[in-house]
Chain A
Amino acid sequence: MSMQALNKLVARSIIDPGVVQAFSAGRIEDVITELDFSTELCDRLSHLEAESWAEYAILAYRYVKAAEEREVRIQLPSPLEGLLPDEKRAEDEQAA
């Protein structure tokens, strides 16, 4: 979702001077907060420092990509799950 928001923002920047103007004026936060980023990403992207809009976009891509990869890793089940027989798993859960 966040990557889609970033894709849209970069796509918009090629035809909307407002995006680059906001970046140059140090007001990119105003644009970022309108988009579908998590609070943490929103905060990070609002305070990224870069020499140009293009450089900012690349740095933002790195942050968003890393955040989405972390999210996927968190969603993955433990590798131990599925190796234990159902009875043993139930016992473990009961004991816990």
Chain B
Amino acid sequence: MIPITREERQWFLRSLAQGLINYLGVQEPPVPVEDLLKNPPPLYDSDFGVVDMYSNLWDATFARPPSQRGSIFVRIDLDPEERRFALARETLSALITSKHGRAMGLFDLLLPHLRESAEFFASYLLVPEPMLKAYHEQGGRARGVAKTFSIPPFSALQRWEDFHTIDHTP
């Protein structure tokens, strides 16, 4: 695998997230990430699923039991915003370990920086660039991002900062 920069990786992740947004056909927030996982594109029938768990160890994690459908195991008592972000984050693991993801070469490209990539991917899946642009143009402010897009406040702040830097690169 060729070495790639963080900027290149981020561009690639933004495009992948946009692909799923296009599939969903949503024009306004909030992006229904749980619906995407429960009714995935046919390509990911055996990769996307959601299983509620009682756990104090983690918020969510993707696992693929042998010969079974891959699923995101998510803590049942999370706040709705935290749940959405955790599901969106773990969606990247589902993608890169899927048959199609492996055929694309996602595993080799993204595994070395999986945690950082997954957080970045989640923030663009839940707050797509065109929607945030429209929100901004309509006078939306930083403090309203979390509520409008239904994501945790810290993630909203980070996404707002990215909007003023990364989103304006190609």
B11 & A51 in contact (Cβ 8 Å cutoff) = no
Q: Count how many chain A residues have C-beta atoms less than 8 Å from C-beta atoms of the other chain.
A: 25
Q: How far is the CB of A90 from chain B (nearest CB, A)?
A: 39
B15 & A11 in contact (Cβ 8 Å cutoff) = yes
How far, in whole Å, are A17 and B45 apart by their CA atoms in the complex? 14
Q: How far is the CB of A49 from chain B (nearest CB, A)?
A: 11
B105 & A24 in contact (Cβ 8 Å cutoff) = no
Most chain A CB within 10 A, of B11, B15, B95, is at: B15
Q: How far is the CB of A5 from chain B (nearest CB, A)?
A: 11
Q: Tell me if A31 is interfacial: C-beta within 8 Å of chain B.
A: no
Given A20-B103, A54-B104, A61-B12, check contact A14 B109 (CB 8 Å). no
A13 & B104 in contact (Cβ 8 Å cutoff) = yes
50-86 of chain A: CB within 8 A of chain B: 50-55, 57-59, 61-62, 64-65, 68
Q: Using a CB–CB distance below 8 Å, which chain A residues touch chain B?
A: 3, 7, 10-15, 17, 20, 24, 50-55, 57-59, 61-62, 64-65, 68
Q: Using a CB–CB distance below 8 Å, which chain B residues touch chain A?
A: 1-2, 4, 8, 11-12, 14-16, 18-20, 22-23, 41, 43, 95, 100, 103-106, 108-110, 170
